[in-house]
Amino acid sequence: MLDINIIRNDIERVKQAIVNKNETTSLDSFQELDSRRKTLLIECDELRNKRNVTSKEISELRSKKKDASELIQEMKGVSDQIKQLEAEAKVLSDDLDSLLMRIPNIPSDDVPVGKDPTSNVIVKSWGDKKAFSFTPLPHWELGKELGILDFERAAKISGAGFTLYMGAGARLERALCNFMLDLHTQEHGYIEVLPPYLVNRTSMTGTGQLPKLEEDMYRIPEDDLFLIPTAEVPVTNIHANEILSNKDLPILYAAYTPCFRREAGSYGKDTRGMIRVHQFNKVELVKFVRPETSYDELESLLSVSEKVLQLLGLQYQVVKLCTGDLSFAAAKCYDIEVWSPGVNKFLEVSSCSNFEDFQARRSNIRFRDDEGNLRFVHTINGSGVALPRTMIAIIETYQREDGTVEIPEVLRPYMNGLDIIRSV
Q: Do the domain assignments include residue 106? A: no
On whether residue 8 sits in a domain, the answer given is: yes
User: 185-219 pLDDT, tens per residue?
Assistant: 999 999 999 999 999 999 999 999 999 999 999 99
CATH number of domain containing 385: 3.30.930.10
Q: Of how many residues is the chain composed?
A: 424
Q: Are residues 68 and 199 in the same domain?
A: no
- Same domain for 122 and 242, yes or no, is yes
Task: State whether 272 and 331 are in the same domain.
Answer: yes
* pLDDT single digits (tens) 56-76: 898 888 888 888 888 888 988
- Interatomic CA distance for residues 154 and 278, integer angstroms: 12
* 268 shares its domain with 339: yes
Same domain membership, residue 182 and residue 51: no
Q: What's residue 221's pLDDT? A: 96
Binned at pLDDT 50, 70 and 90, residue 415 comes out as very high
Q: Tell whether 340 and 205 lie within a shared domain.
A: yes
Are 164 and 76 found together in one domain? no
Assign 147 to helix, strand or coil: coil
Burial (CB count within 10 angstroms: exposed 0-12, middle 13-18, buried 19+), residue 418: middle
Q: In this model, does residue 265 exceed pLDDT 70?
A: no
Q: What percentage of the chain carries pLDDT values higher than 90?
A: 90
Residues 19 and 135 in one domain: no
Please, which pLDDT band fits residue 266 given cuts at 50, 70 and 90? low
Q: Is residue 109 part of a domain?
A: no
Same domain, 153 and 221: yes
- In whole angstroms, what is the distance from residue 295 CA to residue 293 CA? 6
Residue 108 lies in a domain: no
Last residue of a domain, one of 101, 127, 161: 101
- Report the DSSP beta bridge partners of residue 316: 126, 338
pLDDT at 62: 87
- Whether residue 267 has pLDDT greater than 60: no
Residues 288 and 358 in one domain: yes
Is residue 112 domain-resident? no
- Segment 395-410 shows an average pLDDT of 97
Average pLDDT taken over every residue of the chain: 95
More confident residue, 268 or 100: 100
Q: Does some domain include residue 389?
A: yes
Return the CATH number at 66: 1.10.287.40
Q: How far apart are CA 138 and CA 395, in angstroms?
A: 9
If asked whether residues 9 and 144 sit together in one domain, one would say no
Looking at the structure of the chain, the number of domains it has is 2
pTM for the model stands at: 0.93
Instruction: Indicate which residues carry an active-site annotation.
Output: 261, 276, 348, 351, 389
Q: Residue 218's pLDDT is what?
A: 97
123 and 49, same structural domain?
no
pLDDT score, position 70: 87
Q: Is residue 30 part of a domain?
A: yes
What does each C-alpha distance from 93 to 4, 99, 372 come to in angstroms?
Answer: 12, 10, 29
Of 101, 132, 161, the residue that ends a domain is: 101
Last residue of a domain, one of 101, 131, 149: 101
Helix (H), strand (E), coil (C) string for 281-314: EEEEEEEEECHHHHHHHHHHHHHHHHHHHHHHCC
If you average pLDDT over residues 291-295, what whole number do you get?
98
Residue 244 domain boundaries: 117-421
User: Is residue 110 assigned to a domain?
Assistant: no
Instruction: Average the pLDDT over 43-54 and give the result.
Output: 92
What DSSP element (H or E) covers 227?
strand 225-227
Span 235-254, average pLDDT: 97
Instruction: Summarize the confidence of residues 11-22 as an average pLDDT.
Output: 98
